[in-house]
């Protein structure tokens, strides 16, 4: 459990007696599961182990902590999910690897359903993190498709259209998984995407 900051430390202006990164990481879970609006300060106190006065003092309140949690989630998505798209060298195979990672992530059973960012897009709370998530997803897909077209694996004139198709499909997968109790629908959608992407490698 993360330790709470003491009133004495706050009076004397000392650094908070907790690990800020650990608090942000712990706050991701309730925000992810319930969304910004439904998550209460009591939920955040229970998840992070710090009291609401510390949340206000260190993050400016619930909204400030949400911004930090959303930003940390995008950082993690870039490292865990988007890495094959941005750093791969195999084109189509890199997109398949990304889809495999997405499927594995949705199957963990340890995280809330769906995607933190996609789940809460309608709340319109954090434009910066939402925009960064979409930009990194789109940039990564475009980069992988451009690698595939440069190597002659796919058609160069289809890069933008396929990037847009995949972006909308990935958002759809995450939205579907949000209320997909068994995960079957989301898995079927990812399987269909794998088949579609593989077909691009043979259509010249």
Instruction: Tell me how far apart the alpha carbons of residues 42 and 201 are, in angstroms, rounded to a whole number.
Output: 51
Q: Is 137 helix (H, G, I), strand (E, B) or coil?
A: helix
Q: Which residues contact 108 (CB under 8 A, 6 or more apart)?
A: none
Residues 6+ apart with CB under 8 A from 126: 66, 67, 70, 71, 120
Q: What backbone phi and psi angles, to 5 degrees, belong to 123?
A: -70, -25
Within the chain, where are the H helices? 7-11, 20-38, 41-48, 52-59, 62-80, 83-87, 92-106, 116-119, 127-150, 159-178, 184-200
Does residue 9 register a pLDDT over 50?
no
| Structure confidence by residue, pLDDT tens digits, 101-156 | 999 998 887 889 999 999 888 777 888 999 999 999 999 999 999 999 999 999 89
Confidence of residue 8 (pLDDT cuts 50, 70, 90): very low
C-alpha to C-alpha distance for 103 and 101, rounded to whole angstroms:
5
- pLDDT band for 18, please (50, 70, 90 cuts): confident
Return the biggest CA–CA distance within the chain: 70
67: Cα within 13 Å, side-chain hemisphere:
11
Summary mean pLDDT of the chain: 89
Q: Could you give the percent of the chain with pLDDT greater than 90? A: 77
**Mean of pLDDT values over 153-161:** 93
Calculate the CA dihedral of residues 41, 42, 47, 50 and round it to 10 degrees.
70
Does position 15 have pLDDT exceeding 60, yes or no? no
pLDDT on residue 126: 80
Question: Which residues lie closer than 8 Å to 179 by C-beta, 6 or more apart?
Answer: 113
Task: Take residue 147 and report the two structure tokens written for it.
Answer: 């690698």
């Amino acid at each position: 459990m993360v330790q709470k900051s003491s009133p004495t430390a706050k009076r004397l202006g000392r650094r908070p007696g907790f690990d800020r990164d650990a608090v942000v990481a712990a706050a991701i879970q309730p925000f992810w599961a319930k969304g910004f609006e439904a998550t209460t300060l009591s939920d955040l106190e229970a998840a992070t182990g710090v009291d609401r006065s510390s949340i206000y003092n260190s993050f400016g309140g619930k909204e400030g902590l949400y911004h930090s949690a959303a930003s940390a989630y995008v950082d993690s998505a870039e490292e865990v999910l988007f890495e094959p798209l941005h750093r791969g060298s195999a084109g189509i195979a890199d997109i398949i690897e990304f889809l495999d990672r997405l499927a594995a992530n949705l199957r963990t059973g340890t995280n809330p359903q769906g995607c933190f960012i996609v789940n809460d897009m309608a709340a319109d709370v954090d434009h910066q993190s939402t925009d960064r998530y979409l930009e990194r997803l789109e940039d990564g897909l475009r980069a992988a498709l451009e690698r595939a077209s440069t190597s002659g694996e796919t058609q160069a004139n289809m890069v933008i259209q396929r990037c847009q198709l995949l972006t909308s499909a990935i958002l759809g997968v995450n939205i579907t998984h949000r209320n997909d109790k068994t995960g079957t629908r989301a898995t079927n959608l990812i399987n269909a995407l794998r088949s579609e992407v593989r077909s691009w490698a043979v259509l010249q």
